[in-house]
Amino acid sequence: MNSLWDRYQKYLVRDSQLGLSVDISRMSFGDDFFPTMEPRAQAALAAMKTLEAGAIANPDEQRMVGHYWLRSPALAPTPELRTEIEDCLALTGEFAQRVQDSGRFTDALVIGIGGSALGPQFLSDALGTEDDRLRLHFFDNTDPDGMDRVLATLQHRFEHTLVVVISKSGGTPETRNGMLEAEAAYARAGIDFAARAVAVTGVASQLDRYAEAKGWLARFPMWDWVGGRTSILSAVGLVPLRLQGLDMDAVLAGAATMDAWTRTTETLRNPAMVLALMWYCAGEGRGAKDMVVLPYKDRLVLFSKYLQQLVMESIGKELDLEGKKVNQGLAVYGNKGSTDQHAYVQQLRDGVNNFFATFIEVRKGRAGDSLEVEPGATCADFLQGFLRGTRTALHESGRSSVTVSVPEVSPAIVGALVALYERAVGFYASLVNVNAYHQPGVEAGKKAAAAILKLQASVRGALATTPQTAPQIAATLSAEPEAVYHALVHLAANDARVQATTGTTPGEDTFATLAAT
Amino acid sequence: MNSLWDRYQKYLVRDSQLGLSVDISRMSFGDDFFPTMEPRAQAALAAMKTLEAGAIANPDEQRMVGHYWLRSPALAPTPELRTEIEDCLALTGEFAQRVQDSGRFTDALVIGIGGSALGPQFLSDALGTEDDRLRLHFFDNTDPDGMDRVLATLQHRFEHTLVVVISKSGGTPETRNGMLEAEAAYARAGIDFAARAVAVTGVASQLDRYAEAKGWLARFPMWDWVGGRTSILSAVGLVPLRLQGLDMDAVLAGAATMDAWTRTTETLRNPAMVLALMWYCAGEGRGAKDMVVLPYKDRLVLFSKYLQQLVMESIGKELDLEGKKVNQGLAVYGNKGSTDQHAYVQQLRDGVNNFFATFIEVRKGRAGDSLEVEPGATCADFLQGFLRGTRTALHESGRSSVTVSVPEVSPAIVGALVALYERAVGFYASLVNVNAYHQPGVEAGKKAAAAILKLQASVRGALATTPQTAPQIAATLSAEPEAVYHALVHLAANDARVQATTGTTPGEDTFATLAAT
C-alpha cells in the first residue's frame, strides 16, 4: 500500500496560498505518460500564452478570448480594453452599493440562459447566506409555466424587485421572451418596469437599444471577447452577485491567484494542465469516458452543472482546428456527495466502467461547533468518510478518480475553482486540437426551431371549421405531414378554439377551429 | 421525408386515456429488430407477471418486489398485504388532513437520502404551487453546512414546522445525522421536537424504536418489499406530499392506469417494453450509450435526476442473475430544455456520439392566456419549437432520440411517468439478465467509510503536543500513511485544537494538538 502513498505524494499538485490540491494518484497512467505528453502540453501552454496576449484564439468567429483579463485587467492587450474592464468593475460595484443604500429593493429577478444564467446561479447558491442584501430569482428558460411560478413568488414585491436581463447578443429568444413576460407582469401590477430594469448586453445590441429607448435604470456592457460560458466574472456575474451582496472582489482575487499558478510551464506543477492531461488519459483523447463530478458539499451542487456546460460546450466539436472531422467531446454529469452515493454510485462501482470520477473535497465542515452524532464523530466526519470511502471503493474495483481538495467554500476558493477549470478546458482543447470558444452546433437547432414557428403560423392559417387531417393540411402547405401534425397537436393543447379528434392513427386525427359565434 | 412520417405512425405507442405517447421513430433500428427481440421481450413480460404475483423477484435479498401493489392494493398477493397498503393510504390521508385542519403548521422538514428524498423532491417540485398547504424543505445529505442553511431559513418557524424522518432501515447514517441535528436545533430553540416529529420507517427499526421511545407525533411503515428508489408511492412519498397538499390519489390513479397499460403482452403496444427495447438497441444491451433526458418543462427538471437514480442503481450491476460478471449499466444525465440547449446540445449535435436522447414533451404551455412575444407566437410556441428543432437537428446529424409526449404536468401524468419508467427499468433488467432490485455495490463504500471514521478516532488519540508527520503516526497505528494523512488534514480543518504545519511534501507536513492551558 505504500506505493499508493508514494504515488499520492509524487503527483500531488498543491499550493499553500489557496490551500487547494489536485490528487491524480488514483488515475490509471504509467510512468511514461507525462514524458510522452510533454511536447503537446508545452504546445498547449504556448497556445494559452498567445491567447492571453490577445491573439485571435477563436478563429471561426475571428475573436480574441479574454476572460483571463477580467481578473487581471493589467494583462489586457490594449489600454482601452484595460479601462473598459476596470470601469465595469467600478461601475458594477457603485451600482450595487447605490441599490443597497437606497433600501428600496429586496429581490432581483435575473433573466438569462446558458452562460448568462448558470454562472450566476452557481455563485449565488455557493456563496449565498440568509444575510444576503438581495435575494436572486431566475428565468432561465422559455417555459411560460416556469415563469409563472417565479412571478407568483414575487407578485407582491414587484415594487421592490429589480429585473436584470442578461444577453450578450441581445437576441436570445428565451431571454427576450422572459423579459417581455416580466415587463407585462409589471404592467399588469401597475409597477414601472423601466425604473427597475437593468440590461447586461453588448453595446448597441437589440436589447441595449430597447433598454435605452425605454429609459431603463441601468445598462452594463458585454464584450465579444468573452464567451457566455466564461462570462461569470464579467458584468454577467458582477451585476447580480454584487447586488446579492457577495464579495466579488474576493472571487476575482481567487481567480487571479489561480491564473498565476496555472501559468507555470512546469507541467507537473500546473494543476490545470494536470487535469487536462488526466482527461486525455482517461478518455484516450477522444472522450471515451464520461467525467462524473462529485462535490461533497451542498453549496457546490451546481458546480457539477456549471462544469457540464463549460466542458461539453467547449469540447464537443465536430471539426478540429484543421477542419478535419473528429466529433470530439467529454460528457460531464454529477450532483453532489454523499447524496449521489444513494443514487448511482452502485453503477460507478459495479457497473459499466465508462467514466472517471472527480471528487471535490471541502475540508471544513461548517462554521461553528458541531454536535457529535456518534461518540467522537460529527456530520462533517461522516461526509469526509463517505468521500474517502467511495474513492477507495472505486479504486478497489478498478475505477479511476481525481480528487480536488479545497479548505472551504469561500469567495476566493470559488473564484479559484472557476479559473482552474476554465484553463483546464482551454488546455484540453489544445491537446485535442479543437476550438474551445465557439458553438457552431447550437445554430442548427435554432434554425430548425425558427422553421417550426413559421410552419405553425401557416398551419394555424390553414385550419378551418371543417375537420382536416395533418396530411391534408400538409398537402395544402407543401409541408412535412409530421411537422404539421405536431403543430396541430400543439395548437389544440394551447388554444381553446382549436379542437382535435383522435383517430386510429395520427394521420387520421382531425383538427378544426370552432365556428365563429 | 414521407418515410419518417410513416415510421412515426407505425411505431408510435399512444393511449387516449392518459394522452401519453412514446415516439421511437428517430431511433436507429431495422425492421428485424423487434422480431429478433420478441422472445426476450416475452420472457421479460413473463418475469414481470411473476414478480407482480408476489414471487421472490429480488433473489439476493430474498424479497418480493411490490411497488406495483401500492397503487392497486387488490393485486397484492395476500389479504394481509392488501390491508397494510390500504391502511397506509387511509392513515397518511387522515394524518395530513388532521395536520392541515389544525392550522398549526406552515412547513415540513423532510430528512432522507436517495430514494427517501429524491422521489418526494421530484413530486414536490413538479406539482407544487404557491397555494400548497405546507412548504417542504429537505435534508438530503450529511453536510452540516447544508443543514445549517436549511435551518437558517426555518429558524423562526420551528414551532410551525413538522419534521418527517424517512429511512427504511432506520440506520442510514446521513438521515440519522440529520435527525439528530434537527432535534438539537429544536432543543436549542426550546421547541418540543417529539411533538412535531414523524417517522417513516420499517416496523421495529432503530428509527422506529427511537421514535416510539421519544413519543413522536406519528409513525408510518415502510416494507422490505418496496425498494428505496421505487418507494415514492408508499408512505415515503405519501406522508410529505399529502402534507404539502398534493392530490396523491390522482398520482396513484395515474400510476395504476399506466400499470394496466404496460401489462399488455403485445410488445409494440406496450410503452414500457418499447422504451426498454430502445435502451437495449441504443446501447447494444451493455450500456454502450448514455441516456440524456431532456424534459422541456421547468417542473420536470428533477425527473432527469429521478431517472438517473432509478435507472443507474437498478441496472448498474457487476453480476448477472447467474452470477456471471457482466458490469452492466446505463448512464443517465440531463436537466431540462431548452436550457440545456445552451449548455451541452453543442456536444450532442456535433461531438462524440456516445448517447441517445429522451425528449419529454409537455403539450400544454401554461394555465391561462399567453402574451404574444412575436406576432402569432407565445413562449410555449418557442419551447415547442426548440424541442422539435433540436430533435430534428440531432436526427440530421445521426443522433438517436426517443420522444415521450404528455398533455400536461398533472398529478395523474406524473404518476403515469413514474410507473412507465419503473416498469421499463424492470423490463430492461430482464433483457440484460440482472437483478434490478438490489444495490450490493453501495456497501463497499459504506464499509470503507466506517473504517475511515474508526481510523480518525485512533489518529485523534495519537496526536500529541509534539508535532508529528502522517508516516510517524501511521507507524504507531500500523495504518496506511495516506489514510492517516487525510484524517489529520480533516481534523486540522475542523478542530481548532489541532494545528498543521505545511512541509515540502505531504509526508513532511506536521500535526500537533495545542498544549493544555
pLDDT, tens digit, for every residue of B169-196?
888 999 999 999 999 999 999 999 999 9
Q: Does B499 touch chain A (CB under 8 A)?
A: no
Number of Cβ pairs < 8 A linking chain A and chain B: 476
Angle at B330 between CA B329 and CA B331, to 5 degrees: 115
pLDDT higher than threshold 70 for residue B373: yes
Cβ(B110)–Cβ(B125) under 8 Å? Answer: no
Substitution target in A118, A388, A401, A414 with the highest count of B β-carbons within 10 Å is A388
Which ranges of A316-378 does DSSP label H, i.e. alpha helix? 345-350
> Which positions 364-383 of A are in contact with B (Cβ < 8 Å)?
364-368, 370-371, 373-374, 376-383
Cβ(A56)–Cβ(A63) under 8 Å? Answer: yes
* Inter-chain residue contact B345 with A149, CB threshold 8 Å: no
What is residue A517's predicted lDDT score, i.e. its pLDDT? 62
- Please list, in sequence order, all residues whose beta carbon lies within 8 angstroms of the beta carbon of residue A36, skipping any fewer than 6 positions away: none
Q: Up-side HSE of residue B189: CA atoms within 13 Å toward CB?
A: 19
Task: Give me the residue from B118, B385, B440 closest to A452, CB to CB.
Answer: B385
Strand order in the sheet with B107-111: B135-139, B107-111, B161-167, B197-202, B218-222
Cβ(B296)–Cβ(B362) under 8 Å? Answer: yes
DSSP H or E run through A513:
strand A510-513
Give the largest Cα separation in chain A, rounded: 86
Substitution target in B482, B488, B495, B502 with the highest count of A β-carbons within 10 Å is B482
User: Which residues are bridge partners to A469 per DSSP?
Assistant: A510
- Grid cell 428517430 is found at B26
Cβ atoms < 10 Å from Cβ of B191 = 15
Substitution target in B155, B306, B350, B432 with the highest count of A β-carbons within 10 Å is B350
User: Which residues are bridge partners to B292 per DSSP?
Assistant: B333, B357
Which ranges of A328-469 does DSSP label H, i.e. alpha helix? 345-350, 379-396, 411-431, 442-462
> Which positions 52-111 of A are in contact with B (Cβ < 8 Å)?
none
> Which positions 286-315 of A are in contact with B (Cβ < 8 Å)?
286-287, 290, 296-299, 305, 308-309, 312-313, 315
Partners of residue B337 in chain A, C-beta under 8 Å: 141
Residue (of B408, B127, B68) closest to B247 by Cα position: B127
> Which positions 217-246 of B are in contact with A (Cβ < 8 Å)?
228
Residue B1 pLDDT grade (very low, low, confident, very high; cuts 50, 70, 90): very low
* Inter-chain residue contact B447 with A389, CB threshold 8 Å: yes
CA dihedral of B409, B415, B416, B419, whole degrees rounded to 10: 140
For range B459-472, the mean pLDDT: 97
Taking phi first (over 0 means left), then psi (-120 to 50 degrees means alpha), and beta for anything else, what does residue A167 get?
beta
A80 in active site: no
> Which positions 17-56 of A are in contact with B (Cβ < 8 Å)?
none
Residue (of B301, B251, B292, B248) closest to B126 by Cα position: B301
Query: Nearest CA of chain B to the CA of A165: how many Å?
Result: 16
Q: Does B506 touch chain A (CB under 8 A)?
A: yes
* Inter-chain residue contact B145 with A8, CB threshold 8 Å: no
Partners of residue B317 in chain A, C-beta under 8 Å: 346-347, 350-351
Substitution target in A298, A491, A498 with the highest count of B β-carbons within 10 Å is A298
Of the residues A266, A322, A324, A342, which is catalytic?
Answer: A342
Residue (of B75, B54, B78) closest to B64 by Cα position: B54
* Inter-chain residue contact A382 with B177, CB threshold 8 Å: yes
* Inter-chain residue contact B373 with A153, CB threshold 8 Å: no
Which ranges of B351-480 does DSSP label H, i.e. alpha helix? 379-396, 411-432, 442-462, 470-477
B305 in active site: no
pLDDT digits (tens, 9 = 90+) for B504-515: 999 999 999 997
* Inter-chain residue contact A449 with B344, CB threshold 8 Å: no
What is residue B517's predicted lDDT score, i.e. its pLDDT? 61
d(CA B175, CA B171): 8
Query: Nearest CA of chain B to the CA of A363: how many Å?
Result: 6
Strand order in the sheet with A135-139: A135-139, A107-111, A161-167, A197-202, A218-222
Task: Give me the residue from B397, B445, B505 closest to A389, CB to CB.
Answer: B445
Lowest mean pLDDT among A181-195, B75-89, B396-410, B437-451: B437-451
Of the residues A313, A317, A336, A422, which is catalytic?
Answer: A313
Query: What is the predicted ipTM?
Result: 0.97
> Which positions 397-456 of A are in contact with B (Cβ < 8 Å)?
397, 405, 407-409, 439-442, 444-453, 456
Partners of residue B151 in chain A, C-beta under 8 Å: none
Cβ(A105)–Cβ(A134) under 8 Å? Answer: yes
DSSP H or E run through B41:
helix B33-52
Task: Give me the residue from A173, A345, A366 closest to B382, CB to CB.
Answer: A173
Task: Give me the residue from A113, A114, A143 closest to B298, CB to CB.
Answer: A143
What is residue B284's predicted lDDT score, i.e. its pLDDT? 97
User: What is the mean pLDDT for each group of 10 consecutive residues in chain A (517 residues)?
Assistant: 86 95 97 97 98 95 96 98 98 98 97 97 97 97 98 97 94 96 98 98 96 98 97 98 98 98 98 98 97 98 98 98 98 97 96 98 95 95 96 96 98 98 98 97 85 95 97 97 97 95 96 84
Angle at A466 between CA A461 and CA A472, to 5 degrees: 65
Cβ atoms < 10 Å from Cβ of A50 = 12
The phi, psi pair for A278, rounded to 5°, reads: -70, -40
**Cell numbers for A316:** 464537443
A446 in active site: yes
Cβ atoms < 10 Å from Cβ of B224 = 15
* Inter-chain residue contact A315 with B184, CB threshold 8 Å: no
What is residue B169's predicted lDDT score, i.e. its pLDDT? 85
> Which positions 329-358 of A are in contact with B (Cβ < 8 Å)?
329-333, 335-339, 341-355
Substitution target in A340, A350, A442, A463 with the highest count of B β-carbons within 10 Å is A350
d(CA A12, CA A467): 71
